[in-house]
Amino acid sequence: MDGNSELRVLVVEDNRDAAEILRSLLEVCGFQVSVAHTSQEGIEAARKHQPHIVLCDIGLPDGDGYVVGSVLRQSSYTIDARLIAVTGHGEPLDRCKALAAGFDQHLVKPVDPRELLRELEVTI
């Protein structure tokens, strides 16, 4: 891939302000970004956009992000995607649950934008 412009990122976040901040940050950095606000919307958006990276909140209104991570990790359209939990759940058990669900990384909110971008560089 040649730069960020070819990388598709899906943000699954129920807080619309937080989702828009992430979208803006990532678009300024050249990523193609789509946003979903529920676990079901996230799964559908992943199927439609086939993202390279998924940033997923854990506390979603219609389920939890652990289920989203598990579904996406097992789906042919996202099996190789980099899955990153971005959540307020920061206890060691939460991290273990995220990794067990198929996430590659677990970041605790508020996430430092530089840390997030470093994580995304692993994908590039």
Domain parsing of the chain, residue ranges: 4-121
3-state secondary structure of 29: coil
pLDDT band at 2; cut points 50, 70, 90: very low
What is residue 123's predicted lDDT score, i.e. its pLDDT?
Answer: 59
The domain covering 4-121 belongs, at the CATH homologous superfamily level, to Response regulator (3.40.50.2300)
In whole angstroms, what is the distance from residue 31 CA to residue 101 CA?
A: 25
Which amino acid, 51? P
Residue 1 has pLDDT above 60, yes or no: no
Mean pLDDT, residues 8-13 taken together: 97
- Could you tell me if 72 and 78 are in contact, meaning their C-beta atoms sit under 8 angstroms apart? yes
3-state secondary structure of 53: strand
Which amino acid, 83? L
Query: How close are the terminal C-alpha atoms of the chain, in Å?
Result: 7
What is residue 42's predicted lDDT score, i.e. its pLDDT?
Answer: 97
pLDDT digits (tens, 9 = 90+) for 87-111: 998 999 999 999 999 999 999 999 9
pLDDT band at 121; cut points 50, 70, 90: confident
- Which residues touch 35 (CB under 8 Å, ≥6 apart)? 10, 11, 12, 13, 19, 20, 22, 23, 45
In whole angstroms, what is the distance from residue 79 CA to residue 93 CA?
A: 24
Which amino acid, 14? D
- Could you tell me if 83 and 67 are in contact, meaning their C-beta atoms sit under 8 angstroms apart? no
Residue 40 has pLDDT above 80, yes or no: yes
pLDDT digits (tens, 9 = 90+) for 51-82: 999 999 999 999 889 999 999 999 999 999 99
